[in-house]
């Protein structure tokens, strides 16, 4: 697990998450598939921005990501929430992996998801349980 790494959400992912800029600064914590009990990768980004009044960095929102692999297919689900954990945006990125398990450039496509759907709510709850309750951690 990496802790507090500085990262960015960029390009189409930033747009799909509802941000106006192409590059959004974050602080990121990530668990690789091998580190989680559910065989999924998990990432949590604290999105930060510069306050217009105090000029200091402030938290803006959270973006949770869960990655799943199925043979040569990869799917990552992304959930943007406010700081209270209420969902604001959701989308999935689907892609194909090569024989070595690496993503094939250009194979991915992004789909915006309905934040009111049962599947999206269930997947977000899984992530909240992972991060807040320690469920699905490898023991």
pLDDT at residue 83, as a whole number: 93
Token pair listed for 55: 């000029």
Alpha-helical segments (H) within the chain = 11-16, 118-128
Q: Which residues contact 79 (CB under 8 A, 6 or more apart)?
A: 63, 64, 65, 87, 89, 90, 120, 123, 124, 127
**Phi and psi of 127, rounded to 5°?**
-65, -45
Pairing label, strands 23-31, 41-50: antiparallel
| 8 Å CB contact between 57 and 46 | no
User: H or E element: which one contains 26?
Assistant: strand 23-31
pLDDT values of the chain reduced to their tens digit, one per residue, 139 residues: 445 677 778 778 888 888 877 777 888 899 988 888 899 999 999 988 888 888 888 898 999 999 998 888 999 999 999 999 899 999 999 999 888 888 888 888 999 999 999 999 999 999 999 999 888 887 7
Token pair listed for 125: 């709850």
Q: Which residues contact 125 (CB under 8 A, 6 or more apart)?
A: none
With CA atoms as reference, report the closest residue to 37 among 132, 137, 131. 137
pLDDT at residue 118, as a whole number: 97
pTM for the full predicted model: 0.87
């Amino acid at each position: 697990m990496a802790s507090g790494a500085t990262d960015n959400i960029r390009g189409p992912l930033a747009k799909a998450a509802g941000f106006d800029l192409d590059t959004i600064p974050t602080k990121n914590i990530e668990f690789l598939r091998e580190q989680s009990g559910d065989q999924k990768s998990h990432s949590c980004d604290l999105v930060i921005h510069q306050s217009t009044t105090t000029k200091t960095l402030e938290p803006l929102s959270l973006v949770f990501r869960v990655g799943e692999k199925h043979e040569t297919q990869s799917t990552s689900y992304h959930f943007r929430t406010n700081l209270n954990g209420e969902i604001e945006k959701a989308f999935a990125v689907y892609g194909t992996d090569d024989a070595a398990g690496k993503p094939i450039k250009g194979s991915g496509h992004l789909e915006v998801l309905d934040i009111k759907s049962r599947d999206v709510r269930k997947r977000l709850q899984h992530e909240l349980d992972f991060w807040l309750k320690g469920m699905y951690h490898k023991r």
